[in-house]
Structure 1
């Protein structure tokens, strides 16, 4: 009869392990779905130019001039 008293402990650890695994799985999927926007952002030449303008590397006149050049080069 002593055997039956300890049989439940293994099942308790199994349930706890499965719950922990499920929580980690949910966290991993959530992190993959909610990646920062910088990871999903397109990095074409217009975006690079916009980033340089936003950081103050170029002024508005130079931004507009270069943007026109980029758009004129499109087929």
Structure 2
């Protein structure tokens, strides 16, 4: 004795089952991909929040302030950076 209605599932039933399974797995895959992209995006620092890089003149001034180079070398390198060669006469 059969306890369900009719002769079984018709063609529309099979089509609806196929479409619903494709949609279900598509949503699951989309959700996993979106979650992974969200997690990896927030763990990286955005480029616009990065601290600005110091200019070559600022780096040279820092080296002079730390005592890595003397005043004569500072001025000669600063002149070279600015494109005006400085004469080294005097000493």
**What TM-score results when the alignment is normalised by the length of structure 1?**
0.51
The number of aligned residues is 55
- Structure 1 stretches lacking a partner, 5+ long: 66-75
| Pairwise CA distance, 1:61 | 3.7
Taking the aligned partners of 1:38 and 1:20, their CA distance within structure 2 comes to: 30
| Consecutive aligned runs of 4 or more in structure 1 exceeding 4 Å deviation | none
Per-residue deviation, residues 10-68 of structure 1 (Å, max 9, x unmatched): 011101001001111111111111117233x8x5xxx62xx323xxx244244576xxx
- Structure 2 stretches lacking a partner, 5+ long: 1-5, 66-91
More helix by percentage:
1
Please name the residue that 1:37 is paired with. 44
Superposition CA RMSD, Å: 3.0
**What TM-score results when the alignment is normalised by the length of structure 2?**
0.44
Q: Which has the higher contact order (CA 8 A, sep 6+)?
A: 1
